[in-house]
Structure 1
Amino acid sequence: MSEKKGAAGEQLSHVDESGNLRMVDVSGKDETDRRALARTEVLLAPATMDLLVRQALPKGDVLAVAKVAGILAAKRTHELIPLCHPLMLSYVDVSFEIDQEGCRVVIFAEAHTSGRTGLEMEALMAAQVAALTIYDMCKAVQKNIVIADCRLLRKSGGKSGLYEAPELKG
């Protein structure tokens, strides 16, 4: 079988010479300090936002539960994304900015490790699961909640070095 090539003609990292999927071998890479920061947001109706801020939703303290869910998700990313490496995380945090006027909760998820592979997926997973938890805890009072704009803001470490989202550079 011919080699699988990417758009730029390079050998795909997760496909072997026979076209079979594989986990990338990172054993030859140097361990470096790695960090990643992701964000997403949850858009709520004004009445739902008011209940969230007052901690008056039927399921309880939404942000406390969403924080724990996000941290747990980061730790289990390799169980859900098939070709992700299990990582020994040294730090994970999920934080929230409440934009009451804009009726949105902005979620930031940060992860750190010292290792041979990046942890962008762990930060993204933490942000998304925190958002889904907010959705779950608010759905009794609002059905049209929107989860939007999930993206990597920053990552550092490894051979590729620093990445910052374009809006952070200027």
Structure 2
Amino acid sequence: MSDRLTHQDDEGRVRMVDVAGKAGTQRRAVAGAHIAMSPDAFAAIRDGQGPKGNALQTAELAGIMAAKRTSDLIPLCHPLPLTSVKLTIEPDAQSGGFDIRAEVTCSGKTGVEMEALTAASVASLTLYDMTKALDKSMTISAVQLLEKSGGRSGDYVRAPE
């Protein structure tokens, strides 16, 4: 890990990192999020009976679309030619919510962690939006990088909690 922030120059001004001299490598990142909700909202979404239609399919599509638009949302992210975005949302009956997992890959000069995190975040926000008529007290949590591979900093796997 570097001991300085990469998005600042020597005078502390904000900058986009110059990746021109870096070799392209295969990059992969996996991010997750969790949304907890009331038992009624959980059952409706799990069974595809939400007030706005199938919330799970809509949230998966929203997450995929968000990964593709990350550089439009996060100011210093490079636009990347993504090769794959996979988003899954699984029910977690024990917590009364859903686990969201976004996996993003590309062959490029910079990583796809922000794309994976954006996908997981937007998918969880979409579930909230599609379900808020049933439960306004939903909680989105555990938005986090789970794994990454490729690039100069090497591989990372989040330790189990």
Asked if TM exceeds 0.5, the reply is yes
Give the Cα separation in 2 of the matches to 1:141 and 1:104.
13
CA shift for structure 1 position 101: 3.4
5 Å-filtered alignment, 1:109-148, equals: 109-148=102-141
The separation in 1 between residues aligned to 2:158 and 2:94, in whole angstroms, is: 25
* TM-score, structure 2 as length reference: 0.95
How many Å separate the matches in 2 of 1:77 and 1:92?
12
CA spacing shift, 1:117–1:97, aligned 2, 3 Å: same
Consecutive unaligned residues of structure 2, counting only runs of 5 or more, are none
Specify which of 107, 113, 128 is matched with residue 100 of structure 2: 107
Number of residues paired by the alignment? 161
Question: Which residue number in structure 1 is paired with residue 81 of structure 2?
Answer: 88
Which range moved further: 8-17 or 81-90?
A: 8-17
Per-residue CA deviation, residues 108-142 of structure 1 (Å, 9 max, x unaligned), is 00000000000100000000000000000000111
The percentage of counterpart residues that share the same residue type is 47
> What amino acid is aligned across from residue 105 of structure 2 in structure 1?
H
Q: Secondary structure at the match of 1:69?
A: helix
Normalising to structure 1: TM-score of the pair?
0.90
CA distance 1:149–1:10, shift in 2 (3 Å): closer
* Structure 1 gap segments, 5+ residues each: 1-7
Sort the Cα spacing of 1:19 and 1:49 in 2 relative to 1 into closer, same or farther, 3 A. same
The alignment's C-alpha RMSD in Å is: 1.6
Mapped to 2, the partners of 1:122 and 1:65 lie a distance apart of: 18
Does 2:134 correspond to 1:162?
A: no
